[in-house]
Structure formats: C-alpha cells, structure tokens
Amino acid sequence: MGSSAKNYGQTGIGKPRHRRKGNQPTRSGALVRLPMHLYRARYPETALKEQGPCTMRLSRTRPFVRFVEPARTRPAVWRLIFGLFIVALVQSLCLLAVFGGLAYFSGPDNAGLWVAKLAVASTPASAIGVLATFIPLLGGVWLALRVMHKRSLRSAMGARPWAGALRGATVTSAVFAPFLILEMAFSGSVSNLPLGLWSKLLALTVLGVAVQTLAEEALFRGYALQQLAARFRSPLIWGGLPALAFGVLHYDTTRMGDAAPVAVALAALFGVLAADLTARSGGLGLAWGMHFSNNMFGLALLGTPGSITGLALRVTPHDAADIAQNPFLGLAWAIPLLIAWAFLRRGLRG
C-alpha cells in the first residue's frame, strides 16, 4: 500500500495530486509540459480564465470571448485588410452597375440627375435609393467573411441578435420619445411629408433602415471588431479603430457642409457606445437595435434639413449650417443616446 502511494503519479495510475496546469503524463509515467496553445486547444474552457490575445480588463466575460471565438481561426491582419477591400469592391461594383444601367436605358443626363438627387436625398425616392445602397455593403461583408475567413455572416452577429435588437430598439425608442415630443412641440418643427404618404412609405422605411443599420453594424461592430479583438488586446484598437472609421465615413460636406466635423464626432461617439454594448453583451443585437431606433427617429420622424429628409414626417427649423455655428445643438441628440446606452448596459457583465 505504501509502495503504490509512493509511486502515485509515476505509474500513470489514478490522478497526480499536484499536477501543474499544462502538464500531461506520458506512457512511461513522466510528466511533460504541453505548449500553452496546445493546452488551450485541448481544454478550451481555460481560455475564459486567462488573458489571451483577445481579452482585457474591459472584456473578460464569457459573452465577449464567445463572440470573438469565430475570428480566432483566421485572425491575421492581412486577411482583415483584404476583406475590407472586398467589401469596398463589391459595393463599388454594384453601384457602378446600377448607374451604368441608368445611363444605358435613360441616358447619361438622367443618370446624372439621379446621382444629384441621391446626394441631397430630399425626396422619398432618393432617400430610399440611399438606403438601398447598403444592400451591397451587407453582401460585401458576407463575401469577405466567406472568402477570407471561411465563416458565415451569422458568426459575426453573436448571441441572440434578434432578441437583442428588439430590446435595444424598445429601450432606445422609450428614451428618445420624450425628447422628440419636446422637440416637435417647442422647436417650431415644420411638416415635411403628408401624413398619408408618410404612412404608406412607413413599412418600406422600416425595412430600409433595418438593412442600413444591420449592414453598418455587421461591418464595424461585427466583422472588424471581431477580427481586431482576436489579434489585439487593447480596446483602443478593437473598439476605437472601428468607431473612428465609422465617424470618418460620416464626413459628408455635400449634405452637412461646415457641420461635417460635428457629424464625424457624433458618429464616432455612437461607434464607441455601440462597441461597448457589443463587447459586454456578446452580440450585435443591442447595438443594432439602438442604431435602428436612432436612425428611425432621425430619418422617418424628425429630419434635419441638409441631411436625409426624404422620408421624414417633419423637419427641424435649424439646418446643418446652424449646427456648424453652434455645435452644442448636437447635445440634443447625444444626451438621449447616452441615456439609452446607460439603460442598455445595465445588467451586462463588464
């Protein structure tokens, strides 16, 4: 009995009492230390307890680890760069095909007129056309994921995207509604579309905004965030870079004029808040729902002259030029957004 106890852990019989993590017994009974990457592959649950290449103080949560897991199989930065090139290429080719078809069937002059209308987006048809341009963007994200990373678009959406989107949209709408009522009652907003026409277009508006916001979230908070988080630890990289890119792509002097830098700052702020919700919840649902409600209020209910107003029921008395002269007008949008974000992140592990 004493002999067997003395040789416990050398014969391989039973379980050694003091085996260090990563050590495995061989057939001869000797203990060898597995490389950590092989140990994590054999025992993936340990990745939740250790600080790996995609974990940091902000995101040591099971939802975030599961959210980033699909990107770990092919995390190389060059794959992300080529994937983003594929996204841009798909959207550009689709838009060129559409405008080329317009030029062929209706003539170059009419095609140019449509381009000018899309740049302003002050009519229902042009506003719907702008929202439709996000369909190839979503298709480009799907193709990039398939070609460069051998995974599906669903893998970039995380856990329970539909339930999260419903909650995000509901909470954000509840927060935005009082601010919208006050804005309409006291700011001197004016009618834009007749109520009958607006109600007929409402279903198409909802579909268009849903596709537009899903495409942006899938690209910035899904694909880009996942791939960067699989490669880098710092949230300034995996959360900050997509938010910064999201803001820069909202730089539009055609619609916003001198207020374009304010639009960039507000869009970047939204990107940071959406990245935080995505990391803490482990999915795109909350960010997508918040994004959807925000755009519905701004595009379908109370538009701002100079932005996309073709589907708005009413428009504000101030335009983009007023925002450029008084950037604090942006607080009228930022304050309810911050409140909605605070409510949505309650109860999320972080």
Residues 6+ apart with CB under 8 A from 105: none
Query: Strand pairing of 302-303 and 314-315?
Result: parallel
Tokens for 214, please give them.
């899903």
| Residue spans of beta strands (DSSP E) within the chain | 23-25, 31-33, 190-191, 302-303, 314-315
Q: Residue 250, SS3?
A: coil
Which of 336, 289, 255, 256 shows the shortest CA–CA distance to 162?
A: 289
Q: 94 with 86: CB under 8 angstroms? A: no
- Decide: 328 and 203 in contact? Cβ < 8 Å: no
Whether the pTM exceeds 0.85: the reply is: no
The order of strands in the sheet holding 302-303 is 190-191, 314-315, 302-303
Q: Which two tokens stand for residue 69?
A: 């897991």
In angstroms, what CA-CA distances link 328 with 152, 177, 248?
Answer: 42, 20, 20
Taking only the tens of pLDDT, the chain with its 350 residues reads 544 444 444 444 444 444 444 445 444 444 445 555 554 555 444 444 433 443 334 445 788 999 999 999 999 999 999 999 999 999 999 999 988 888 888 888 787 888 877 877 889 999 999 999 999 999 999 999 999 999 999 999 998 999 999 999 999 999 999 999 988 888 788 999 999 999 999 999 999 999 999 999 999 999 999 999 999 989 999 999 999 999 999 887 776 777 788 889 999 999 999 999 999 999 999 999 999 999 999 999 998 887 889 999 999 888 776 777 776 777 778 999 999 999 999 877 65
- DSSP state at residue 58: G
User: What single letter denotes the amino acid at residue 323?
Assistant: I
Alpha helix ranges (H) inside 122-224: 124-132, 134-149, 161-186, 195-217
